[in-house]
């Protein structure tokens, strides 16, 4: 058993399975796994190391330059796309095969200036706002900004991209409109005599559902076994595509005690025992990322038995009713979290409807351990 208070196990088999399933869904289009936000809580470096070993992965995608530099510091060689912000000196990215998404002329000028000073070429992906209204240049400015990039000596227009706002919906109206806008922008850029290697707009949901144009798909939630929506899951499963949860967050029982019937348990007296109750203390709380909303609402798994969390989840400890689980002994392992349909449905009932929220909340100090 691992000696930490709790630990996260990352299944190498499940990650490879999901990647293969998504590659099949994309029908031969390249996949760029998204490993931002500590690989959706799964562990930036261990997940990237697993993916780096696969020669079919053309890019890893991160949000920040600091994440890309951390990967390079750990020997990750796969090209990296920085999709959001440069939170470290641009010069540190020089010569490291790190690509940047850009949305405006100021960004382009800054990168061109660093490239000229260092005598190195930076690869840029022009992002176009087709409806998310977040990052991206306007449709009207797309061609002129692409031309501006192509005119700079130390810049290369490596890609054109956009991002969907609601590709996981049953109603695909907005996704179709964004796809149409992206197609128009690509045509305009091509007609202006410009070329780029990569065109990408699809995320996990789009790859599994609508399959829009492009030769690269950025896959995030689905790579980790989390369906973007039940609609996407149902469509994919009709085609025989199955995902496996990559993560299991585990802990060990630290102490056991028996309390009588009628005893309040935990802060604020939110649970009162109805019978003599055997309680297991688990050294995990909301400071570790186990949501306080799970109080009196969720289960953990001990073996195959779903065992209720009782009382209010505290900062560093939670209580589990193990009265009917004789195998629950001090040191016994339990599973706190995994991306199964049952668990995510239970989480949704307490107001957590975005499955990506849960793993990213697990404290980064908790060890991530790769298992076969």
Q: Where are the domains of the chain?
A: 12-238, 247-338
Beta bridge partners of 274: none
For 8, phi then psi, to 5°, come to -110, 125
Catalytic one of 19, 36, 40, 127: 36
Annotated active-site residue in 154, 244, 250, 267: 267
What is the rounded average pLDDT of the residues 216-230?
Answer: 93
Residue 195 clears pLDDT 50, i.e. is over it: yes
CA dihedral 110, 113, 115, 119 (to 10 degrees): -170
Mean pLDDT of 81-90: 96
Q: What is the pLDDT of residues 298-336, one digit of tens each?
A: 999 999 999 999 999 999 999 999 999 999 999 999 999
Helix, strand and coil content of the chain, in percent to the nearest 5, comes to 35, 25, 40
pLDDT band of 2, cuts 50, 70, 90 = very low
Round to whole Å and give the CA distance between 32 and 216.
7
pLDDT at 3 > cutoff 60: no
Nearest residue to 35 via CA among 26, 48, 19: 48
Residue 244 has pLDDT above 50, yes or no: yes
CATH 3.20.20.10 is held by the domain 12-238: yes
Q: Which CATH architecture has domain 247-338?
A: Beta Barrel (2.40)
pLDDT digits (tens, 9 = 90+) for 198-214: 999 989 888 887 777 89
pLDDT tens for residues 262-271? 999 999 999 9
The percentage of residues in the chain with a pLDDT greater than 90, rounded to a whole number, is: 82
Q: How far is CA 323 from CA 74, 276, 283, 294, 295, in A?
A: 46, 8, 19, 19, 18
Q: Does the annotation count 154 as an active-site position?
A: no
Which bin fits 358, alpha (ψ -120 to 50), beta or left (φ > 0)?
alpha
- The question of whether 267 is a catalytic residue gets the answer yes
Phi then psi for residue 82, to 5 deg, are -95, 115
Query: DSSP state, 128?
Result: B
Q: 235: which 2 tokens?
A: 């469509």
Position 210 scores a pLDDT of 73
Least confident of 103-107, 179-183, 247-251, 257-261: 179-183
Check if the beta carbon of residue 291 is closer than 8 Å to that of residue 352: yes
Question: What confidence score (pLDDT) does residue 239 get?
Answer: 87
Q: pTM for the complete prediction? A: 0.94
Report the C-alpha gap between 155 and 116 in whole angstroms: 9
Render pLDDT for 110-167 as a digit per residue (tens, 0 to 9).
999 999 999 999 999 999 999 999 999 999 999 999 999 999 999 999 999 999 998 8
């Amino acid at each position: 058993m691992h000696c930490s208070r709790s630990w996260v196990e990352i299944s190498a088999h499940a990650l490879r399975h999901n990647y293969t399933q998504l590659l099949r869904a994309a029908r031969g289009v390249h996949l760029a796994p998204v490993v931002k936000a500590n690989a959706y809580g799964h562990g930036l470096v261990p997940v990237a190391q697993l993916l780096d070993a696969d020669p079919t992965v053309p890019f890893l995608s991160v949000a920040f330059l600091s994440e890309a530099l951390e990967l390079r510091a750990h020997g990750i060689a796969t090209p990296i796309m920085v999709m959001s912000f440069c939170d470290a000196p641009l010069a540190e990215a020089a010569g490291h095969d790190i690509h940047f998404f850009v949305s405006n002329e100021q960004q382009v000028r800054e990168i061109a200036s660093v490239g000229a000073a260092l005598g190195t070429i930076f690869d840029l992906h022009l992002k176009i706002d087709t409806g998310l209204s977040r990052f991206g240049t306007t449709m009207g400015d797309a061609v002129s900004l692409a031309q501006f990039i192509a005119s700079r000596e130390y810049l290369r227009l490596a890609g054109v991209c956009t991002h969907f706002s609601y590709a996981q919906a049953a109603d695909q109206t907005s996704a179709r409109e964004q796809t149409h806008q992206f197609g128009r922008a690509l045509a305009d850029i091509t007609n202006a005599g410009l070329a780029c290697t990569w065109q990408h707009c699809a995320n996990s949901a789009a790859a599994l559902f609508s399959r829009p144009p492009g030769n690269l798909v950025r896959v995030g939630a689905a790579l980790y076994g989390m369906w973007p929506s039940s609609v996407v899951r149902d469509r994919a499963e009709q085609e025989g595509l199955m995902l496996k949860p990559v993560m299991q967050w585990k802990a060990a029982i630290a102490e056991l005690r028996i309390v009588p019937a009628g005893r309040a348990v935990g802060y604020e007296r939110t649970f009162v025992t109805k019978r003599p109750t055997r309680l297991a203390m688990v050294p995990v709380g909301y400071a570790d990322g186990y949501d306080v909303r799970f109080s009196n609402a969720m289960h953990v798994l001990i073996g195959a038995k779903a065992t209720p969390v009782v009382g209010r989840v505290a900062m560093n400890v939670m209580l589990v009713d193990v009265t009917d689980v004789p195998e629950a002994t001090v040191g016994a392992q339990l599973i706190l979290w995994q991306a199964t349909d049952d668990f995510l449905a239970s989480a949704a009932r307490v107001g957590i409807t975005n499955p990506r929220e849960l793993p990213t909340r697990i404290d980064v100090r908790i060890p991530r351990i790769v298992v076969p």
